[in-house]
Homo-oligomer: A and B are copies of this chain.
Amino acid sequence: MESTNPAALQPSAERMIREAFGAQPYLRQLGARIASLALGRAELTLPFRAELAQADGAFDPGIVATLAENAGRVAAQTMLPAERAALTVEFKVNIMAPGKGEVLIARANVIRSGKTVTVCRADVAVQSGGSETPCATSVITLLSTAR
């Protein structure tokens, strides 16, 4: 299902998405970054800091959900023309393991791109000491709207 050679974005589209991402105060404050972008794909990363943790030292499930949802939103945006925005209608997250590690990574793919509705899947993993552990999977349903 996941093609190995996703198409690159137009530079203007990539710039626009990165600028919009950078203009989100909450994501900036969290420290989330776009690690890579391609048509129908987005990878976000978020380095661990003590204030992003639950009591057990793992990333809070809310942070895991936030990164997954934003990865889905960015991936959806890669399929839309500049004058349309992806708006999250609903999302669902399965927490599969505690997110304990140095970097949280959310990888989203568009699995259905329609005129009105886009559906993305986002898998979240945590990097720790050079290896990666899956910690969540999510599905995000978005609406394409005029900006």
Q: Which stretch (A10-18, A74-82, A85-93) binds chain B?
A: A85-93
CB distance from A77 to the nearest CB of B (A): 13
What residues of B have a CB within 8 angstroms of the CB of A139 in the complex? Answer: 90, 92, 94, 137, 139
Chain A positions 109-126 with a Cβ under 8 Å from a chain B Cβ: 111-112, 114, 116-117, 119, 121, 123
User: Which residues of B are found within 8 Å of A25, using beta-carbon distances?
Assistant: 50-55
- A59-87 interface code vs B (CB 8 A; 1 in, 0 out): 01111011101100000000000000000
A24 close to B (CB within 8 Å): yes
Contact A111 B137 (CB under 8 A): yes
Shortest CB–CB separation between residue A59 and chain B, in angstroms?
A: 8
Residues of B within 8 A of A51 (CB): 25-26, 28-29
Partner of A119, one of B61, B96, B116: B96
